[in-house]
Amino acid sequence: MAIEKVNIAEKLNQINDLWNPRIAGELNGQHVKLTKMNGAFVWHKHDDEDEMFLVIKGNFTMELRDKSIEVKPGEFIIIPKGIEHRPVSTGEVEMMLFEPATTLNTGNVKNELTRENLERI
């Protein structure tokens, strides 16, 4: 395996769509994913996986059933397994996700936003 650095901005510039995470790295059974979002995602949960959302550019609100938390550039939020959540933004957001390789982006919901086979960038 070749050891190389990853330029996050360059990788994000390769993404021209929304809600379609790409794998930018992998370690210890975890994927480092990059994605862009705008608007509201689907309410969902992950029964077996925690997720971490790190904002690179823009900001979004993580809606939980009992509260909403705003996440800004340079901040991250961890959603524990089993917790229903929905990311929502009013503008384009660039983010990095850290989650187990088994994590399906829509969790317990399968719809048009579900991405089962992720592209590597």
Q: What is the CA radius of gyration of the chain?
A: 14
Specify the amino acid at residue 71. V
Closest CA to 41 of 66, 71, 20, 72: 20
* pLDDT at site 44: 94
pLDDT tens digit sequence for 61-84: 999 999 999 999 999 999 999 999
* pLDDT at site 119: 83
3-state helix, strand, coil in the chain (%, to 5): 5, 45, 50
Three-class secondary structure of residue 70 per DSSP:
strand
* pTM for the whole structure: 0.90
Detail the DSSP E strand segments found in 46-102.
Answer: 51-57, 60-64, 68-71, 76-79, 85-100
Task: Report the Cα–Cα distance between both ends of the chain, in Å, rounded.
Answer: 16
| pLDDT greater than 80 at residue 104 | no
Q: How many CB atoms lie within 10 A of CB 48?
A: 10
